[in-house]
Structure 1
């Protein structure tokens, strides 16, 4: 009996000793299982972030960045090129206008010097008697030939001026225009419209549709 009791007591003590370490180890394992994953994730995230910061750009990314930079440079150069073409064309048009103005001014000065000669032709023809104009050579052959010669010379001279844009302006019967006419007097005319030209004292001239000398005229005075 004693041996059986002693054996039972020893067996119970051995079982108690074996269970205590296992329980302690299981509790420690539970704690470790709770803490270890947190430490592992923290370490992994830190390593991933550090790897992202220090990882060099790939060759494709570098090529894309260079391509984007070159495209911006090409766009800027294209814009400058288009602006340069527009400025050059504007300069061409401005130069053409300035050259034309210079030509017109030079011709205008020259035409004004010739207007005296045209006026002299008109003065020479106005002194011819009306009988000579109606009767012709039967009135006076020498005077008639002189009249015809002056008239032909006047026509050739005026045609030559017209080729260069210098045109005689005779505003008889036209409405008075202060831009191209110069009124020297006004007289009431019952049978004519007020403000119209009824007498031309001196003809005017235009150069390329621009007045270089206004015509001196008499106009109908309104009531």
Structure 2
């Protein structure tokens, strides 16, 4: 007789149990793509370089503007000063002519001294504005500084030497305000007479 299984023994069913998949940690940052990060860095570098170039261009434009303004102000100052001096110099010429006439006659000594004083004051005023007379007499003629109004033949001076000054010239800094009007020496041409001399050809 076969032995019957014990019906009271619980029958257990074999169930396949699978371990559930691990969930990603919500607090953990997902790493970015390195190529995307490099592209982003290059974009930021380009933007920074553009801002730098813009700043340098703006700075250069401002410096050029300031330089142009300073040059314009200097030109305006010189223009005004030249206009003033062009009106003042004829007065100085008249005083110097009066001095020459008074010294020739030796009359009215007080007036002569007053004229001398006035001339000195005007010359000092010119010097304060960097305006100085141009040296002429005894110097070689320079077309940049002198204006020849006459040439005189003479053996006393070398050819091209300024022997007299009709009107004094002045310069303002390195610029000629007006040239000196001068008389320039010229060597006389010596002609050899051939009268009574047979010239063989």
Shorter-normalised TM range: 0.7 to 0.9
Which runs of 5 or more structure 1 residues have no equivalent in the other structure? 1-56, 133-139
**Given the two structures, how large is their TM-score scaled by the length of structure 1?**
0.65
Alpha-carbon displacement from aligned partner over 1:73-95 (angstroms, at most 9, x marks no partner): 11122122212222221222222
1:105 corresponds to which residue? 79
3-state DSSP of counterpart to 1:175: coil
- Say which is worse superposed, 86-95 or 114-123, in terms of deviation: 86-95
Q: 1:58 to 1:129 in 2, by over 3 A?
A: closer
What is the number of residues matched between the two proteins? 158
- Is 1:117 the counterpart of 2:91 in the alignment? yes
- Is 1:217 the counterpart of 2:182 in the alignment? yes
Q: For the Cα contact (< 8 Å) 2:148–2:183, is it kept in 1?
A: yes
Q: For the Cα contact (< 8 Å) 1:199–1:219, is it kept in 2?
A: yes
> Where in structure 2 are the equivalents of 1:1-223 lying within 5 Å?
58-130=32-104, 132=106, 143-222=108-187, 223=189
More helix by share: 1
Alpha-carbon displacement from aligned partner over 1:91-124 (angstroms, at most 9, x marks no partner): 2222211110111011101110111110110111
Which runs of 5 or more structure 2 residues have no equivalent in the other structure? 1-30, 190-201
Q: Distance in 2 between matches of 1:67 and 1:116?
A: 74
Larger Rg: 1
1:33 corresponds to which residue? none
3-state DSSP of counterpart to 1:145: helix
**Given the two structures, how large is their TM-score scaled by the length of structure 2?**
0.72
Offset of residue 61 of structure 1: 3.0
